[in-house]
Structure 1
Amino acid sequence: MLRAIYDWVDERLDITPIWRDVADHEVPEHVNPAHHFSAFIYCFGGLTFFVVLIQILSGMFLAMYYVPDIINANESVKYLQDEVAMGAIVRGMHHWGASVAIVMLFLHTMRVFFTGSYKNPRELNWVVGVLIFFVMLGLGLTGYLLPWDNKAYFATKVTIEIVNSVPFIGEYIGLLLQGGDIVGAQTIARFFAIHVFFLPAALLGLLGAHFIIIRRQGISGPL
């Protein structure tokens, strides 16, 4: 069945050359675990991408039940957790996946740094990777408020106070995030929009640029 669908699409769009270009790409010998034990450190990037995919898919599921307002936000999370089939599992995957993604991204960044993979001609990809790191931190920060419980509320207040302390522009950024004089309805609406629309769009764009550059330049050599 799948083969028939593939052949039908391939007949009209000629996708086989594109697929072969992606799937048949050779990788250097030093990233093959069969030849080098240290090759496992080159897996952190792929593992990070895998966790990000899980975050996207689980987040799409959560968004179908979440209500981003101060009256219903916490109740919608409780309903998802207690009433929806597999809801607790998916929410747990999303919750813990956020931490795992940051850890894996940190390990990947350390691998790139200590193997000198950020040097010429890969400086631009290093900059893109650092931007991805900050976007991931932003996703973790904005997602923390959404359950709208006491821990999320006071943690967000502390975060906005820290932002306000930044010289010159901190007050304006804090007002943009908070949306008013207090952490309330405007805050949760803005954090939800940033978490679900703005930052994921930025992340997908940066990931696309990251993969294109890797494909053009290839995987960096050994230490």
Structure 2
Amino acid sequence: MLQRIYDWVDERMDITPLWRDIADHEVPEHVNPAHHFSAFIYCFGGLTFFVTVIQILSGMFLTMYYVPDIINAYESVYYLQSEVAFGAIVRAMHHWGASVVIVMMFLHTLRVFFTGAYKKPRELNWVVGVLIFFVMLGLGLTGYLLPWDMKAYFATVVALEIMETVPIIGESLRTLLQGGEIVGAQTLARFFAIHVFFLPGALLGLLAAHFIMIRRQGISGPL
């Protein structure tokens, strides 16, 4: 059935050459676990992407039930966990995935650094990877407030106070994110918009650039 659908689409869109150009490429011997035990360190990038996909899919599910205002936010999260089928599981996946993706990305960054994969001609890809890392940190910060419980509230207050100490732009940055004199309705609305729209858009653009450069430059050689 799937083959028939693929053939029908391919007959009209000619997608096979495009798919082969993306999927059919030679993998270097040093990233093959059958030949080199150390090849496992090259899996961190793929694992990071896999967890990122889980975060996106689980986040899309959560937004179907989440209400981004200070009156209903906590209640909507409680309803999701207690009443929605598999809601608690999906929220747990999203919650723990936020930590796992940072760990995987940190390990991937260490691998790139210690194997010298950031050197010419991959300097720009290293810069893009660092930007992705900061976007992920931003997603973690903005997502932490959304349950709107006491822990999330006071953790965000502390984070904004720390942010205010940044030279030159700190005060303006806090005002932009906080949206008022206190952490309140405007803060929650802004964090939700940044978490769901702005940062995911930036993330998808950076990931596309990251993968295009990997595809053109190939996987870096061994140390």
TM range, normalised to the smaller chain?
Answer: over 0.9
**Paired residue for 1:77?**
77
Counterparts of 1:77 and 1:151, CA distance in 2: 14
1:107: which partner in 2?
107
Corresponding residue for 2:95?
A: 95
d(CA) in 1 for partners of 2:23, 2:171: 49
State whether structure 2 residue 176 is matched by structure 1 residue 176: yes
The match for 1:62 is 62
Q: Match for residue 221 of structure 1?
A: 221
Q: Deviations over 1:181-207 (max 9, x none)?
A: 000000000000000000000000000
Unaligned ranges ≥5, structure 2: none
Q: Which amino acid aligns with 2:68?
A: P
CA offset at residue 42 of structure 1? 0.2
| Count of residue pairs brought into register by the alignment | 223
TM-score, scaled to structure 1:
0.99
CA deviations on 1:147-188 (whole Å, 9 max, x unpaired) are: 000000000000111111112111000000000000000000
Does 1:12 pair with 2:12?
yes
Return the letter of the residue paired with 2:211: F
Q: Within 2, Cα distance between the matches of 1:169 and 1:132?
A: 21
The residue type paired with residue 151 of structure 1 is K
SS at match of 1:119: coil
- Per mean C-alpha deviation after superposition, the further-off stretch among 101-110 and 17-26 is 17-26
Give deviations 1:89-110, integer Å, cap 9, x for gaps: 0000000000000000000000
Q: What amino acid sits opposite 1:56 in the alignment?
A: I
Structure 2 equivalent of residue 151 of structure 1: 151
1:122 corresponding residue in structure 2: 122
> Gaps (5+ residues) in structure 1?
none
Query: What CA RMSD, in Å, does the superposition of the two structures yield over aligned residues?
Result: 0.4
Partners of 1:195 and 1:22 in 2: CA distance: 30
Q: Distance in 1 between matches of 2:40 and 2:18?
A: 28
Identity %: 84
Partners of 2:62 and 2:29 in 1: how far apart?
Answer: 41
